[in-house]
Amino acid sequence: MRRREFIRDSGVIGVGAYTASKLGFLKLDQITGGKMDTPVVISTWNFGMKANEVAWKAMSSGANSLDAVEQGVRTIEDDPEIMSVGFGGLPDEQMDVTLDASIMDWRGNCGAVGALPKIKNAVSVARTVMERSEHVMLAGEGAYKFALAQGFKPIDLLTDKSREAWLRWRESLGPNNNWLGPHSMDDLGDNHDTIGLLALDTKGHLSGAVSTSGLAWKIHGRVGDSPIIGAGLYVDGKVGAAASTGVGEANMRIVGSHLVVQSMKAGASPQDACEIAIRRAIEVHSKILKKDKSFQLAYIGLSAKGEVGGAAIRKGFQYAIGKNGTNKLVDSKYLYIG
């Protein structure tokens, strides 16, 4: 049996999403020639388990971390049951689904799209901006036209489920309601999340990608933190990578992912670096945190050495770690009690 067949046949992937699964520890060792600490993947929320598996599988078959994070994020964008990312994402106040995404590699290349309508795989449009234009970010109609010109196919991103959620939200509005609160768990369920996926491949190259439909019921035209390089995502190939999920406005105010990576550069572990950014966010948002019990922000970090970390403002954030052959979902440390 050839090595690749052995890996495929040994159950590297294919285990149900959202449950801990084996990622082929011994098989990976064969590929990496005994070097056991790569690949490493880390991603946000329970859907990160599925993204990790896809990214891991790609890297185990020789893909670099950039291809791996794109493939992992696309899997989440494609899933209509995940209502905060891609196809089936919750719409804005006008019932339009618009997507934010970015991607960055170890060489400092990056691309992003904001408020992108009608294209399912925003992460791939972000990558196309990075590779086929001189720009870093395109937004709205311009991003859409660029995507069409590059061969992306338009689709209706709204599913029956996301349309019904919008109708329930609209019916629940009184004359004095404002659009943007509460920010997370309400009677319609969890109304925003981002898939953030960071990967270190067998050559030691780091990449990251993020994608989201943003805050549900957002004002049409709102762009969140995910396409803002340094806020939603940052990668320094020699140091580490970071990604964020939560209220994007809070993250944009502190340019948090850059702060995480800079803290790593100054010597902090990914765990300590994520906590530094969360403490900054708490300091800047002390007033709103007292009023809004669902105001959440979180970071994940991955160092160029393969160490991982994560931290959140409040209890409830989870992230998935694929390391040393195992994929597991962990409850994040949180720093705000109140």
| Residue 92 binds ligand ASP (CB under 6 A) | no
| Residue 314 binds ligand ASP (CB under 6 A) | no
Give the residue, chosen from 91, 208, 248, 301, that forms a contact with ligand ASP under the rule CB under 6 A: 248
Residue of 44, 80, 41 lying closest to 251 (CA atoms): 44
Q: Are the beta carbons of 253 and 284 closer than 8 angstroms?
A: yes
| Residue 246 binds ligand ASP (CB under 6 A) | yes
Q: How far is the CB of 57 from ligand ASP (least distance, A)?
A: 25
Which CB sits closer to ligand ASP, 118 or 222?
222
- In the set 194, 202, 212, 245, the catalytic residue is 194
Q: Give the integer Cα–Cα distance in Å for 24 and 28.
A: 6
| Residue 226 binds ligand ASP (CB under 6 A) | yes
Q: Give the integer Cα–Cα distance in Å for 51 and 195.
A: 8
- DSSP secondary structure letter of residue 40: E
Count of residues interacting with ligand ASP (CB under 6 A): 14
Which CB sits closer to ligand ASP, 60 or 244?
244
> By CB under 6 A, which span of 105-113, 219-227, 261-269, 274-282 interacts with ligand ASP?
219-227
Q: In Å, how far from its chain's centre is CA 24? A: 24
Which CB sits closer to ligand ASP, 71 or 213?
213
Per the omega criterion (within 30 degrees of 0), is the bond before 39 cis?
A: yes
Query: Strand pairing of 297-303 and 185-186?
Result: unpaired
Q: How far is the CB of 136 from ligand ASP (least distance, A)?
A: 18
> By CB under 6 A, which span of 145-153, 158-166, 208-216, 318-326 interacts with ligand ASP?
208-216
Phi/psi of residue 55, nearest 5 degrees: -65, -40
Angle at 209 between CA 122 and CA 204, to 5 degrees: 145
Which CB sits closer to ligand ASP, 24 or 309?
309
Give the residue, chosen from 224, 256, 270, 322, that forms a contact with ligand ASP under the rule CB under 6 A: 224
Give the residue, chosen from 64, 124, 202, 245, that forms a contact with ligand ASP under the rule CB under 6 A: 245
What six digits make up the tokens of 182?
A: 């509460």
CA separation (Å) from 91 to 5, 142, 231? 43, 19, 22
Q: Give the integer Cα–Cα distance in Å for 87 and 77.
A: 6
Q: How far is the CB of 306 from ligand ASP (least distance, A)?
A: 25
Is 44 catalytic? The answer is: no
Q: Give the integer Cα–Cα distance in Å for 314 and 334.
A: 5
Which CB sits closer to ligand ASP, 49 or 247?
247
Which CB sits closer to ligand ASP, 15 or 180?
180
**Count, residues in the chain:** 338
Give the residue, chosen from 192, 258, 314, 323, that forms a contact with ligand ASP under the rule CB under 6 A: 192
| Residue 214 binds ligand ASP (CB under 6 A) | yes
> By CB under 6 A, which span of 121-129, 157-165, 186-194, 322-330 interacts with ligand ASP?
186-194
Q: Give the integer Cα–Cα distance in Å for 93 and 97.
A: 9
3-state secondary structure of 170: helix
Q: How crowded is residue 258: how many other Cβ atoms within 10 Å of its Cβ? A: 18
Query: Under the rule (CB under 6 A), what is the footprint of ligand ASP?
Result: 100, 192-194, 212, 214-215, 224-226, 245-248
Catalytic residue numbers, as ranges: 194
